[in-house]
Amino acid sequence: MTDRALADWLSRLERRSPESRIDLGLERVPTVYRRLVSSQPDCPVITVAGTNGKGSVVAMLEAMALAAGLKPFAYASPHLVDFGERMRVAGEPASAADIVAALESVEDARGEIALTYFEHITLAALVLAREVSPDLMLMEVGLGGRLDAVNVIDADVAVITSIGLDHTEWLGPTRADIAREKAGVARAGRPVVVGERRRPPALDEALQRIGAVPVMAGRDFSWRCARDHLRIQVDERVFKLPHPAMAGRWQAANAACAVAALSMLGGRLRLDEAAMARGLTSARLPGRFQRLSEAPALFVDVAHNAAAARELAKALDGFSGRSYAVFSALAGKNIRAIGRALDACFSDWLVAGIRGDRGLSAAAIDAELAQIPVSGRRETVESVPRAVELALERAGKQDRIVVFGSFRTVAEAWPTLMQH
């Protein structure tokens, strides 16, 4: 009954304010938060913002804390399969019963205040975190930073992983605009780890106005991949660590951000280099350039913007067989930029539609790809699961299939992929 109760609650929130509805602002959330919780968390808080890499950094920090025998609480979004993925206690999804209780607490506290879907579940996460008394709280920003509901909490250390052009309709049309929004997670006198090496000057200016203590990639910390290890330097300290278990060359940068963030906490956590090493080799995150089978090679990736598509293209370079893209995207995404970045990677594009809120038809997505045009053969398919089925039927053992385009793309493909 509890799983059903959670499903009913989420449907209720969706009817009241669809998850895709964005209403940035911190007018409502602090008021309800003060009714629920009288003070800031007792444990250290690391808040992670950025265009890409947020989820990976949170997963690495979580795994490192677990390896040290600590109890982390991680809040992330969106989820792929189970809503409990968004609220993790000691590395495990929170129970449906605990999530329902937290959602009900927020409902009782909000009174006349109308909350969006994301605001309600963020406040529920904070209620749940208080109940479980973690050693470390890890909070992933949903959108931007300055006006995101997560920003109701004062981070001891903030992380800004990267700055790319995404969600421009809410965050602004330039990297400078987006940088200023992401800088809003920083706090005066507290460290902010910035993983973006080619950051716009606007970010430095914003952090200076806030009075934060910047810890900049290339200046205050760095990383280098050797054959058998990852070398990360934070100020004068050098860490010799194993390569992350999560695939993709970009994970080295995410690992460096995680190590730098933990280093900025000083002695507040019992977490040494050995725990960091164990965490990097145990951290997993479904849907991030995840390889599901060998023959054919089958990958899923939630890449949904141009910057992520460019990194995916680098990872896919140098393949000699036929390569099938199962691709779908949501409204508002720069489909042409994604297509340009991956044009040379695929011989066949199976372009699928996504139903529901913000979904696009296969024809609409294909029309965008036709404007480039991508060089591979294109075929429109009615749904992501059907596109996966066709790719599996057609691909030989020496071929490759890549399912990508959004979290929803991978989520819709997941049941079919798990039956393969």
268-287 pLDDT tens trace: 888 999 999 999 999 998 88
Q: Which pLDDT score is estimated for 207? A: 97
Please tell me the distance from the alpha carbon of residue 313 to that of residue 212, in angstroms, as a whole number: 35
Domains of the chain, earliest start first: 2-282 (3.40.1190.10), 290-419 (3.90.190.20)
Contacts 24+ apart (CB under 8 A), 69-72: 69/270, 70/135, 70/136, 70/269, 70/270, 70/271, 71/132, 71/133, 71/134, 71/135, 71/136, 72/134, 72/135, 72/136, 72/137, 72/138
- 403 in Cβ contact with 417 (< 8 Å): yes
- CA dihedral 389→393→399→401, nearest 10 degrees, is 0
Please tell me the distance from the alpha carbon of residue 415 to that of residue 115, in angstroms, as a whole number: 32
Please tell me the distance from the alpha carbon of residue 7 to that of residue 80, in angstroms, as a whole number: 15
Q: Which pLDDT score is estimated for 3? A: 86
86-145 pLDDT tens trace: 999 999 999 999 999 999 999 999 999 999 999 999 999 999 999 999 999 999 998 777
Q: Say what the pTM is.
A: 0.92
Q: Which pLDDT score is estimated for 118? A: 92
Q: Which pLDDT score is estimated for 318? A: 77
- 280 in Cβ contact with 286 (< 8 Å): no
Please tell me the distance from the alpha carbon of residue 58 to that of residue 355, in angstroms, as a whole number: 30
- 381 in Cβ contact with 390 (< 8 Å): yes
pLDDT below 70 — which residues of the chain?
Answer: 1, 20-22, 24, 168-170
